[in-house]
Amino acid sequence: MRSLKREALRALTDRIVEGYRLKPEDPEVQELLTQPLEELQEEAGRIQQHFCGNHVDFCTIINARSGRCGENCKYCAQAACHHTGCEEYGFLSKEEVMKTAKADQDAGANRFAMVTSGRALTGKDFEKALDIYRAMKKDLTIDLCASHGILSREQFRKLREAGVTSYHHNIETSRRYFPQICTSHTFEDRIRTIKAAQAEGMCVCSGGIIGMGETWQDRLDMAFTLQSLGIESIPINALMAIPGTGMEGRKPLPAEDILRTIALFRFINPTANIRLAAGRKLLPQNGATALKAGASASITGNMLTTSGTTIKEDMEMLKELGMTNR
């Protein structure tokens, strides 16, 4: 497969900056797969600079209810069908969540999300979440995000009224490959959830995991699905295979593959926040180079069940890069 000549790649960047959006059938899409990585990153950086400037968005998450999930996502430490020794606990107290959110706000994070295990947050736990979101909206200034599985439009309305502005719900991979990683719910279930959140006026954060055995075509298909949904924030996780899950033993992706994926996603979703997530430590300088080559956001702090990076370290990194999250 041939790659684009340098001048043609620059011309493609210019077209995207001027408003063109790549389509799956465009011949350039396949050619980007074999483009020298350095060239691809340079042009992804140009697109990023145009649409995002020097701004980087930092979000933090708290694992507000952990383990015992009835779904069978192969990658997940929290699925009850896997035996990973992951910590299991019910919904955290309001005091604990508020304390963490305030600390993250004071450390400089832009947004804070409660994440809960399970197919959907319902009943008393959903009411508890609403109560905590209301309290955070009243007492804090940090933007609020939520990640509570497959919810109804009515639930999204209640979340919005409680102060939540963003909803996180990954599509995880391509439509074709999804049944290989989960059979307890469908790709369409995820799409419906995203559309319901958007219908309630929420910004949706949706991306996926790479390194689960999918092809490059699957990664492109995922990027174009997100484009068609108008997703504004796209987390790219590199699989950190956890012993006891269905992905146990899978080797981590090479940094070059992760960096190429980030750059490709920037070409396909030029205005979105492409967000570094799990697997950042697989990248050079803990992702610093990626923040100049397509990635305009990152999860920071403690990431669910895979260790992340402290907010303080990330704020220092931004300063060194001449970037800001304000």
What is the residue-averaged pLDDT of the chain? 93
Residue partners of 145: CB distance under 8 A and separation at least 6 = 59, 61, 111, 112, 113, 164, 165, 166, 167, 168, 205
CATH number of the domain enclosing 235? 3.20.20.70
- Run of H or E including 321: helix 311-321
Cβ(132)–Cβ(97) below 8 Å = yes
- The answer to whether position 206 is within a domain reads yes
Residue whose token pair is 């400037």: 53
pLDDT computed for residue 146 by the predictor: 98
pLDDT computed for residue 69 by the predictor: 81
Tell whether the model's pLDDT for residue 149 goes beyond 60: yes
- The answer to whether position 301 is within a domain reads yes
pLDDT computed for residue 304 by the predictor: 44
- The answer to whether position 146 is within a domain reads yes
Band (245; pLDDT cuts 50, 70, 90): confident
Q: At what angle are helices 255-268 and 37-52 packed, to 10 degrees?
A: 40
Radius of gyration of the chain (CA): 19
- The answer to whether position 249 is within a domain reads yes
- The answer to whether position 208 is within a domain reads yes
Number of folded domains that form the chain: 1
The predicted-structure confidence for 169-179, as pLDDT tens digits, reads as follows 999 999 999 99
Tell whether the model's pLDDT for residue 309 goes beyond 80: no
Cβ(182)–Cβ(172) below 8 Å = yes
Tell whether the model's pLDDT for residue 307 goes beyond 50: no
Q: What number is the average pLDDT over the span 7-15?
A: 97
pTM, to two decimals: 0.95
- The answer to whether position 30 is within a domain reads no
Q: What number is the average pLDDT over the span 141-161?
A: 98
Tell whether the model's pLDDT for residue 216 goes beyond 80: yes
Band (1; pLDDT cuts 50, 70, 90): low
pLDDT computed for residue 176 by the predictor: 98
Tokens describing residue 161: 């009224």
- The answer to whether position 15 is within a domain reads no
- The answer to whether position 21 is within a domain reads no
Structural domain for 274, as ranges = 47-321
Mean pLDDT lowest among 28-32, 107-111, 140-144, 298-302: 298-302
